[in-house]
Amino acid sequence: MVNFRVVLVTPRHEGNVGAAVRSMGNFDFTELFMVAPCEIGDEAFKRAKHAGDILRAAQTVQSLDEAVKDCDLVVGTSGIVTPGEKHFVRIPITPRQFAERVKDHEGTVALLFGPEDTGLAQDDLLRCDLLVNIPSSVDYPVLNLSHAVTIVLYELFLQHPKKGGPRAASQEERKMLFEFFDDLLDAIDYPEFRKEKTKVMFRRMMGRAIPTKWEFHTIMGVFGDAAKRIRKKES
């Protein structure tokens, strides 16, 4: 069964935090991490209403790495979408598409929401395996933090994740796959100036696909065998 962790990255206003927590309670989400948040006081608990226990149990950390260190999939949200296939850092899917793709997976999924004034930073987006964007007006595309949390959690709630689905690859297995891909790039003498962007593109593509554990190992085997054969022919 998939487990979701809501991660609020440097939220600026405690009222928005409380409203986001209320939505978590509305849709049966309980795990909350906050990265270097604003001061959390009475206003946050007033807005949280009957979901105050979620706020009291929230984990406060100082870095994004701490918040997602044991997660199998890291999903960012952004109100800004850059058009064009080459701008892969900001190629998103909708909350509904995302909910449908993860409904049968197992493991922990981190849902990242950025600060109200700037959203997730570019470095934070590069840390994500997948990007979600809520379709909205081109004239005013950026939603309030708590509203964005509500919409994403609502779509996930509708899917009623089932037990016994295909197992998602672990964070360690994902790391291994990307290392195999990097090794293949080295084996084929892939141009150095294009290598970093290609690595990010591959990571983001795999995030959108959300492969199962078996699929990850199959791809790793192909990459590993290809790199060995290339080096064997060159020796």
Contact in structure between 18 and 45 (CB atoms under 8 Å)? yes
Based on the fold, state whether residues 116 and 200 are members of the same structural domain.
Answer: no
Which tens digit of pLDDT belongs to each residue from 53-95? 999 999 999 999 999 999 999 999 987 665 544 444 557 899 9
Q: Retrieve residue 180's tokens.
A: 């195999």
Task: Say which range, 47-51, 52-56, 72-76, 207-211, has the weakest mean pLDDT.
Answer: 207-211
Select from 139, 159, 179 the last residue of a domain. 159
Q: What is the residue range of 12's domain? A: 2-159
DSSP the chain: -EEEEEEEES-S-HHHHHHHHHHHHHTT--EEEEESPPPP-HHHHHHHGGGHHHHHT-EEESSHHHHHTT-SEEEEE-S----STT-GGG--B-HHHHHHHHTT--EEEEEEE--TTT-S-HHHHHH-SEEE-----SSS-PPPHHHHHHHHHHHHHHH-PPTT-PPBPPHHHHHHHHHHHHHHHHHTT--HHHHHHHHHHHHHHHHHH--BHHHHHHHHHHHHHHHHHHHHHH-
> Based on the domain organization, do 85 and 185 belong to the same domain?
no
Torsion (CA) 145, 148, 33, 207 in degrees, nearest 10 = -130
Task: Provide the pLDDT confidence category of residue 161 given band limits of 50, 70 and 90.
Answer: very low
The CA distance from 180 to 227, in Å, is 8
Tell me the mean pLDDT in the region 211-232.
Answer: 87
pLDDT reported for residue 83: 53
Alpha-carbon torsion angle 19, 161, 5, 8, nearest 10: -40
Picking from 159, 190, 224, the residue at the C-terminal end of a domain is 159
The verdict on pTM exceeding 0.75 is: no
Look at 85-99, 111-125, 137-151, 212-226 and tell me which has the smallest mean pLDDT: 85-99
Residues 145 and 227 both lie in one domain: no
Same domain, 218 and 103: no
The tally of domains found in the chain comes to 2
Read off the tokens for 37. 């948040």
| Pair (143, 78) in one structural domain | yes
What percent of the chain is modeled with pLDDT above 90?
56
Residue 164: inside a domain, yes or no?
A: no
Same domain, 117 and 185: no
30 lies in the same domain as 71:
yes
Rg over alpha carbons for the chain, rounded to the nearest Å, is 19
Q: Which residue has the higher pLDDT, 86 or 195?
A: 195
Q: How does the average pLDDT of the chain come out, rounded?
A: 88
pLDDT tier, 163 (very low <50, low <70, confident <90, very high otherwise): very low
pLDDT at 139 over 60: yes
For the segment 20-49, the average pLDDT, to the nearest whole number, is: 96
Residues 41 and 7 in one domain: yes
| Amino acid (one-letter) located at 232 | K
How many residues in the chain?
235
Contact 45, 79 (CB under 8 A): no
In angstroms, how far is CA 158 from the centroid of its own chain? 19
Contact partners, residue 198, CB within 8 Å, separation at least 6: 185, 190
**Structure-block tokens of residue 175:** 């790391």
What CA–CA distance (Å, rounded) separates 205 from 208?
5
**pLDDT score, position 82:** 58
Please give the distance of CA 22 from its chain centroid, rounded to a whole number. Answer: 21
pLDDT category of residue 204 using cuts at 50, 70 and 90 = confident
Residue 41 shares a structural domain with residue 96? yes
Is the same domain home to 100 and 78?
A: yes
What pLDDT score was predicted for residue 144?
A: 93
Range among 44-58, 77-91, 135-149 with highest mean pLDDT value: 44-58
Q: Are residues 117 and 13 in the same domain?
A: yes
pLDDT category, 31, cuts 50, 70, 90? very high
Out of 38-52, 91-105, 160-174, give the one with best mean pLDDT. 38-52
Please state which of the ranges 36-40, 103-107, 112-116, 223-227 shows the lowest mean pLDDT.
Answer: 103-107
